[in-house]
Structure 1
Amino acid sequence: MKAVICNESRLRVADIPAPKPGKGQLLLDVLRCGICGSDLHARVHADAVADLTAQSGYDAFMRSDQEVVFGHEFCGSVAEYGPGCHERWQTGTAVVALPIVRNGTDVHLTGLSASAPGAYAEQVIVQESMTMAVPNGLSAEHAALTEPMAVALHAVRRGDVGKGQTAIVIGCGPIGLAVISMLKATGVRTVVASDFSPRRRALAERCGADVVVDPAEQSPWTSYPQGSELRRATELLNLGFDTMDRLRAVPKLPWWHVFRIANSLGATPAGPVIFECVGVPGIIDQIIASAPLLSRVVVVGVCMEADRIRPALAINKEIDLRFVLGYDPGEFQDTLHLIADGKVDPAPLITGTVGLDGVDDAFTALGNPDEHAKILIDPALV
């Protein structure tokens, strides 16, 4: 079969042996595959990422000297079952799958391991237990975006945006746009989007952002109604004094119980929930320095370099810092149905489609934020 191979940071189309599904696996004919920012990073930073993932307990991430087929955002049709499968779907059924396979006890990330070739190819292997049929006649183009949209859903759930809180998305690349879409799909009333690129700001509006900001001209931190958010430590301290004065003025009131009830109901001051979707050094510290007190920062962008923050500043502002990765099978399933039911529209993310021969040029084009967001690969396209 034909596939795009990455080796020593170079991409080329080659004929490679057709894959054979193992126990509990099935073979898909690839219908569409998305080019992910992780692929762009892995192309040039594979060894650094492999060292990091090895420290976290996964030692099979691709190395630059290996020949690897990228592609972990895909939709395909069932072509062949391996041994030990339940054969849940007829041949030709459109499906999506979590990009992870298991051989014995060895687990591999599809498209990011030399042991699990991905979907920049005519065919790809998936695990039957991790596969889901595409419902409601959903198009292959939209179904292929289940994976990146599931990353966004997981980030939004980890963000735990409360009623009355504002969500601020810093960076409107593909993952930032997906986060905006999921925030609106899950009922968040006010979503602020910030990006220097006019093209990406326009896409953020299409994804449902309520306020769109060019940070070169306007601060995202002052672009929305502030409500009860606190900007300075003295504001928080004065709020404490004012509250105690009122409570202690009520005779025999057990004021400490009021604090306990307020904490249990979430009726205490809180800042916005901020989604960092840029992934370059310095952004997290900039957010910590600029965000209101008591903000929650969800780090979705993948920074591939060492970074520095000032913990004391985050402590003084009591910033809640959370890092997120991936999704679970339930979130993947939920995302697929959100898209299929029309509650999330991934169409604004798709800005181009290429065949296998166009992948190298697509990688170059994706380096320009004013040109593209998400490019899909159609292996049948000549």
Structure 2
Amino acid sequence: MTQMRAVVVHKGELSVRSVPRPKPGPGQLLIKVQRAGICGSDLHVREHSEELNEVVTEIGYTTAMRPDQEIVLGHEILGSVVSYGPGTRGRWAPGTSVTALPVLRTDGAVHMVGFDVDSPGGFAEYTVVQESFTFPVPDDVDPDRAAFTEPLAVAFHAVRRGGVSARRPAVVIGCGPIGLAVILMLKAQGVKTVVASDLSPARRALAARCGADVVVDPRVSSPWDAYDQKGPVTSLTDYLGFGIDAMKVVRRIPLLPWETVLLNADRLGGSPSGPVVFECVGVPGMLEQIMTAAPLHTRVVVVGVCMQPDTIRPAIAIHKEIDLRFVFGYDPAEFARTLEMIAGGKVDPSPLHTGTVGLDGVAQAFADLADPETHAKILVDPTA
């Protein structure tokens, strides 16, 4: 059996091993890995695989990794075509650079690449991807940029779920890799005011490079004071007072269908609203903190993955009419469009790229990523 080098995690420890090279099954292709990004999910799962297993099993995913298993991590993958399994169309010639959604179907079961024993990931010389979820990378796109397709697709999906209009302010709480990616996608979508908040000076600097219009240290100033509030959304009493004044005006106008006007105010953009907030930290207490401090009618998009139980006060959210949305992943169209934006220069992920290591450097890279002042995103190049 042909062997290859790969980074294996077992009981929380990372090591470089010689493992069997995977074979492409029906509908799959084998690729030689050019780059694989280290994701926050990889850091989480190394330490919290039991919690992750419990969550995903509860929602119907039956093959998630366990601490006692040996798993090849890595789901942000760029590679070149080597060979095809049965039942494929052989769409791209060997050597073609491709990237793919990290989802694989084997023996009728669906697996998340890099998260279970039946779908080894990209921290290896070779890996297997699903042909129908694979997309060719234009020849003129640098591998270090194309490798960011997957994490930027996560951010693109979050921005789309957030429904941010160009003129509605966006506030990004947490400027780690996913927060920075969200900033890039907000600006690519034409959002005029993006406020970024982070405790780390290095990450605040990266947020500015990614296009944030205002960058704040929350220990010094509040992100809620960093943009112009439009309408009476700072307090419930101001909002109710606005309603009294508005009704006094509209009811003075003869024949005005004021009920219709008010019922359609949201759709027409005339109703006061707060910002769209992207929570990209993922630690207990952050949601409660945001909902307590945010203005009325704020929409909160939860992007950060919190692996511990958390507590919020629904009464606060109710009185402010906070809109809470949770996001996960992306769809194939969003993935493909993200690759198009990178290839066309509409979004430039290079500020996120702060280092590249070979397979032997992955364990140290995991340790380095724990320090927000040192790195944002490290890529793995198995040939290095």
TM-score bracket, shorter-length normalisation: over 0.9
The aligned counterpart of 2:324 is: 321
The aligned counterpart of 1:340 is: 343
CA pair 363-229 structure 1, distance change in 2 beyond 3 A = farther
1:274 aligns with 2:277: yes
Matched to 1:331, the amino acid is: E
74-83 vs 265-274, which moves further: 265-274
Q: Deviations over 1:271-304 (max 9, x none)?
A: 1000000000000000000000000000000001
Matched to 1:258, the amino acid is: V
| Equivalent of 1:232 in 230, 235, 248 | 235
The aligned counterpart of 2:161 is: 158
Shift of 1:263: 3.3
Q: Deviations over 1:295-330 (max 9, x none)?
A: 000000000100000001100000000000000000
Matched to 1:303, the amino acid is: C
1:369 aligns with 2:372: yes
Shift of 1:224: 1.4
1:87 aligns with 2:90: yes
Shift of 1:229: 5.2
Shift of 1:114: 1.3
Q: Secondary structure of 1:151's partner?
A: helix
Q: Secondary structure of 2:363's partner?
A: helix
Tell me if the contact between 1:34 and 1:74 (Cα under 8 Å) persists in the aligned partners. yes
Q: Structure 1 length normalisation: TM-score? A: 0.98
Rounded Cα–Cα distance in structure 1 between residues aligned with 2:166 and 2:152: 23
Tell me if the contact between 1:247 and 1:253 (Cα under 8 Å) persists in the aligned partners. yes
Q: Deviations over 1:8-67 (max 9, x none)?
A: 000000001111100110000000000000000000100110000111111211111000
Q: Secondary structure of 1:16's partner?
A: strand
| 1:267-306 alignment, distance < 5 Å | 267-306=270-309
Q: Secondary structure of 1:332's partner?
A: helix
Tell me if the contact between 2:74 and 2:123 (Cα under 8 Å) persists in the aligned partners. yes
| Equivalent of 2:176 in 173, 187, 194 | 173
Q: Deviations over 1:350-372 (max 9, x none)?
A: 00000000000000000000000
Q: Secondary structure of 1:306's partner?
A: coil
Matched to 2:46, the amino acid is: R
The aligned counterpart of 1:75 is: 78
Listed as ranges, the gaps of 5+ residues in structure 1 are none
The aligned counterpart of 1:38 is: 41
Shift of 1:136: 4.9
1:209 aligns with 2:212: yes
Rounded Cα–Cα distance in structure 1 between residues aligned with 2:343 and 2:167: 29
Tell me if the contact between 2:187 and 2:211 (Cα under 8 Å) persists in the aligned partners. yes
1:4 aligns with 2:7: yes
Q: Secondary structure of 2:132's partner?
A: helix
Q: Secondary structure of 2:72's partner?
A: coil
Listed as ranges, the gaps of 5+ residues in structure 2 are none
133-142 vs 13-22, which moves further: 133-142
Rounded Cα–Cα distance in structure 1 between residues aligned with 2:363 and 2:98: 27
Matched to 1:209, the amino acid is: A
| Equivalent of 2:25 in 22, 29, 36 | 22
| 1:189-268 alignment, distance < 5 Å | 189-228=192-231, 230-268=233-271
Matched to 1:189, the amino acid is: K
139-148 vs 168-177, which moves further: 139-148
Tell me if the contact between 1:23 and 1:84 (Cα under 8 Å) persists in the aligned partners. yes
Tell me if the contact between 1:74 and 1:143 (Cα under 8 Å) persists in the aligned partners. no
The aligned counterpart of 1:359 is: 362
Rounded Cα–Cα distance in structure 2 between residues aligned with 1:254 and 1:171: 45
140-149 vs 219-228, which moves further: 219-228
Tell me if the contact between 1:35 and 1:376 (Cα under 8 Å) persists in the aligned partners. yes
The aligned counterpart of 1:380 is: 383
Shift of 1:238: 0.5
Tell me if the contact between 2:166 and 2:190 (Cα under 8 Å) persists in the aligned partners. no
The aligned counterpart of 1:123 is: 126
The aligned counterpart of 1:111 is: 114
Shift of 1:91: 0.3
Q: Deviations over 1:214-239 (max 9, x none)?
A: 00101101011222251110011011
Rounded Cα–Cα distance in structure 1 between residues aligned with 2:296 and 2:220: 23
The aligned counterpart of 2:67 is: 64
Tell me if the contact between 1:135 and 1:337 (Cα under 8 Å) persists in the aligned partners. no
Aligned residues: 381
251-260 vs 274-283, which moves further: 251-260
RMSD across aligned C-alpha pairs, in angstroms? 0.9
Shift of 1:121: 0.1
Shift of 1:253: 2.1
The aligned counterpart of 2:333 is: 330
Rounded Cα–Cα distance in structure 2 between residues aligned with 1:278 and 1:64: 25
Rounded Cα–Cα distance in structure 2 between residues aligned with 1:254 and 1:378: 65
Matched to 1:74, the amino acid is: I
Q: After TM superposition, which residue ranges in structure 1, 4 or more long, deviate above 3 angstroms?
A: none
Tell me if the contact between 1:229 and 1:271 (Cα under 8 Å) persists in the aligned partners. no
Q: Secondary structure of 1:168's partner?
A: strand
